[in-house]
Amino acid sequence: MADLYPHKSGLGLVEPVALINHNVCILYGSVKNWRKVIFLEPIPFFQCLNLGAIALQTTTARIACPNLAMLDGEFGQFRWFPMDNVQIRLFLPQTDGRYALRNIQVPVDETITDRDPCLHLTEFFVWEDKSPAFEAMNIMDYALTQCRIVAGGYRYVTVGLDKSSIAKIEAGQEACTYVVASGNAGVPR
């Protein structure tokens, strides 16, 4: 499992974060979902959302992307980029901003395909139907007629782990990949 871990950097296109029979722990908020992967398949890059026309120098409402929702017991691994000249913020779920720094939430724009051609740093995970939401800024002095987002990655079907397996993982006796599927506002001080 050494080669498989979230947000892997370096050359190469998207790789699965876990394989069949691998243990995963999907962190959704403060909930740990201990699972074992029983099936995975690739999701080719596709246009998952079109936020539509955006007037010049305007920010859209936060719009959910149900096309990236998964079935019960499944999680998705996605990388993405915008096709149009906007700055887009990702929320996962709808209230938790991703790519958060102390003072700003970092947006993704069209330059990501040059700066990070394999889109490693855009990677996020979706647990079941907790689908992401996107908010787009048309930064231009020109109106946009479309605001399209393209995403692709992997779909994982999982089953729950029994308590003995979880105990072994927590004791460090069995391997597990931890997958973050929501934002985090930080630890209160």
Partner 1 sequence: MLGVMQARKGVRLQGNVVVMIAAAVANAVAIFQLSNYANQIGTKTFRIKRIKGINNAGADTDIHIGTGAGAGFVAMLPPLHTINGMNFDFAEDDLPEVEFAADMTCFPDAAAALTPVTIQVEVEELG
Site residues for partner 1 per CB under 8 A: 11, 57, 59, 85, 87, 104, 106-107, 109-111, 114-117, 137-142
Question: Closest CB to partner 1 among 106 and 159?
Answer: 106
Nearest approach, Cβ of residue 100 and partner 1 (Å): 13
Question: Closest CB to partner 1 among 39 and 142?
Answer: 142
Nearest approach, Cβ of residue 175 and partner 1 (Å): 29
The span from the CA of 150 to the CA of 81, in Å, is 6
Question: Closest CB to partner 1 among 25 and 137?
Answer: 137
Nearest approach, Cβ of residue 141 and partner 1 (Å): 4
**Encoding tokens for residue 103?**
């003072």
Q: Quick check: 179 and 27 in contact, CB under 8 A?
A: yes
The span from the CA of 36 to the CA of 161, in Å, is 6
Q: Quick check: 68 and 151 in contact, CB under 8 A?
A: yes
Nearest approach, Cβ of residue 60 and partner 1 (Å): 12
Q: Which residues pair with 149 in a beta bridge?
A: 49, 82
Question: Closest CB to partner 1 among 111 and 184?
Answer: 111
The span from the CA of 166 to the CA of 58, in Å, is 48
